[in-house]
Amino acid sequence: MSSFSPLDPLLHSQLRLAVVSLLIGLEEAEFTFLKEETQSTAGNLSVQLDKLEKAGYISIEKSFRGKRPLTTCKITPKGVDAFETYVENLKKYIE
């Protein structure tokens, strides 16, 4: 039996994993896009994005489009590495 590597608890959350999975294939994504795609509430998504940003997995830029606030998220190199490691470790559980 092979040894199991621990799964990153930050990415093991369904919503955080969904966000990182979306961002891995995009240059950037707006908050509203992430909210619609993950079918989460604005409050819950905000909390989870904050956790990902504090871990260095994503960067968040706040600006305005006209008079409306605009929040844009990007995955960082650290986030890409964490996601790739998570997927590789998860594969060991499945094999």
15 and 45 Cβ atoms separated by less than 8 Å: yes
| Residue 4 lies inside a defined structural domain of this protein | no
In whole numbers, what is the pLDDT of the chain averaged over residues?
94
> How would you write 6-23 as a 3-class SS string?
CCCCCCCCHHHHHHHHHH
| Residue 1 lies inside a defined structural domain of this protein | no
| Residue 36 lies inside a defined structural domain of this protein | yes
What range does the domain containing 73 cover?
Answer: 14-89
Q: Is 35 helix (H, G, I), strand (E, B) or coil?
A: helix
| Residue 5 lies inside a defined structural domain of this protein | no
| Residue 94 lies inside a defined structural domain of this protein | no
CA separation for the pair 82, 31 (Å, rounded): 21
Record the pTM. 0.91
Structure tokens belonging to residue 14: 């369904």
Counted domains in the chain = 1
In one letter, which amino acid is 81?
D
CATH of residue 70: 1.10.10.10
Question: Over 70: is that where the pLDDT of 23 sits?
Answer: yes
| Residue 62 lies inside a defined structural domain of this protein | yes
